[in-house]
Amino acid sequence: MPTIGERSRRQFLKFLSASPLLAAGTIEALAGEGPANPMPGVKLPDPIIWAPLKTDNVIKSPAAAINVFDFEPACRAAVPPAHFGYMASGIDDETTLRADREGFLHFQLRPRRLVDVSKVDMSTEILGVKYSSPIVIAPTGGNVFFHPDGEVAVAKAAKAGDHLQILSTMTDYSVEDVIAARGAPIWYQLYPTNKWEVAEALVKHAEKAGCLAVAVTVDRVGGRNQETLFRLIPTDTRDCNACHDKTSLKTALSRRPMFDGVDLSGLRGTEASNLTWDFIKRLRATTKMKIVLKGILHPDDAARAVAEGMDGVIVSNHGGRQVDGAIATLEALPGVVEAVDGRIPVLLDSGVRGGADIFKALALGARAVLIGRPYVYALGIAGRDGVPGPVHRPADEVELDGITGRGVHAVHDQAGQDADDHRLPRVAGQVGAQPVRPGRQVHGVVQHAVREDVMPQPRQDVVFLANALFGPFDRKAMIVGEGLDPVLIIGGAAAQHLFVHRRDADDLTEEVHRLLGPRQAAKITMKCGLSSDRQRSRDCRTTG
């Protein structure tokens, strides 16, 4: 007769073998090996539940794209490896890069019905200027890495869709050329550096060229470990030194026209590790342009921005490129919006891909959203003709699926009304005055709580299995406590199942009571098999 452990393992493996994701080759794709990925050893930066499962049949033109995620693997195949790595990289383990996407799964929309949406208004107003779309072209450096026309091609696409464009300090074309191509004033993104005179020269140049606002990046305070980039550089057979002379900062920036004639002496890089509110005050007294702070995640910083006379804030974590383990921007947005309290506009950056993402951000109070990587990937595929795809497609999704499907007339009608927080509830235990919050039942499935004060390190084989089947392992999706070993919730976009190996189901029930509270635990049905000797197993599915 099989032992309890053998029976549990068999049941568990039987469940896994029936998974459609397992049949789809997810494990091979996530590992970057096998037929599902034509580039061994190179993982897709976006979690596998969003990226195409099969990357061997990439699109040949932007018109063939089904969604925004089709552009990334096509760009990977079209541009030099190091150039792709520069744009695709996050930082360190890229947990922030993944969190930005996962954050959009934590909020759900509550549509309104019986509303006339035969005519909708996609326009929005930002700092006194009306644009046809709430989608903003995010500042991205090195666009010529992907196409010779670089930022000029992007500006022409922005003009076609009447999008606000924010130009990076690291532009390969002059701000004058980009404004001419856009046919209207743009914003200028500033890397302040550690030298005031450099920041002053850059800002005065942008103001003289006709920029409406300066978006000061406040989160670029040091270097970064871009592992995806560093892994791809050795695979690039070109002589990178021919274009990238890193003998000194001056030679390294020689292809960046914004630094022409600027004294860079004393600087080792463009980071701004000495940036404080004193700099912001000095900048306020230097320029007549509007000032927007890019990189705000904490409500207190947002409130301080208002107090210091800033004209707007951009909730951003630099696309997951600055601090690994940082909060997802959509998760940070509600707190920032509350702190600002309507006094200045709030924009959202990082992780935005589809129309539903945009609508959620707007519903949570953002005035507009920034899109970055997708348009660069499209630029690498087809130049100026490619850029409208990942920019206009989400706009169409907002209009067709977002506004009309959600039952509002215009993008500015639903702010703060239609996005509900359905995150897996966090339980911090009895820490200070914070109460333990019970798990929440969503769509008939109990979303289990987390005891962060007793959270164990998950077993690596469990982590790999969860990653391979359902996307990156989310520690927030575990129910943990003393004595639970091992514990696994298979989460992500799939149904939530809790598999626990326990010798005594009564103990497990007591643990659930302790973690979720008696009222919530009373609603839970434990479906556990019983052996002939009344020892209880083992593999328990917890449902609402």
Tokens of 527: 């479906």
Catalytic site residue 318?
yes
Catalytic-labelled residue, pool 318, 392, 448, 501: 318
SS3 210: coil
Nearest to 164 by CA among 216, 104, 202, 211: 211
Tokens of 297: 């995640």
Tokens of 425: 């509830």
Nearest to 420 by CA among 192, 114, 109: 109
CA atoms of 346 and 326, how far apart (whole Å): 19
Is residue 45 within 8 A of residue 39, CB to CB? The reply is no
Question: 479: Cβ–Cβ under 8 A, 6 or more apart, which residues?
Answer: 439, 448, 449, 450, 487, 489, 498, 512, 515
DSSP string across 343-387 = SS-EEE-SS--SHHHHHHHHHTT-SEEEE-HHHHHHHHHHGGGTT
Question: 144: Cβ–Cβ under 8 A, 6 or more apart, which residues?
Answer: 150, 172
CB atoms within 10 A of CB 533: 6
Please give the DSSP secondary-structure letter assigned to residue 285. Answer: T
Tokens of 244: 């990238």
Quick one: how many helices (H) and strands (E) in the chain?
21, 18
- CA torsion angle for 473, 493, 89, 143 (degrees, to 10)? -170
SS3 308: coil
**How far is CA 444 from each of CA 110, 301, 440, 497, 523, rounded to the nearest angstrom?**
17, 39, 10, 12, 11
Q: In degrees rounded to 5, what are phi and psi of residue 77?
A: -80, -20
Question: 533: Cβ–Cβ under 8 A, 6 or more apart, which residues?
Answer: none
**How far is CA 494 from each of CA 151, 168, 473, rounded to the nearest angstrom?**
40, 39, 13
Return the CA Rg of the chain. 25
Is residue 431 within 8 A of residue 443, CB to CB? The reply is no
DSSP string across 15-79 = HHHT-HHHHTTHHHHHHT-STT-SSTT---SS-TTTS-S--SS--SSGGG-SSGGGHHHHHHHHS
Give catalytic residues, as residue numbers: 318
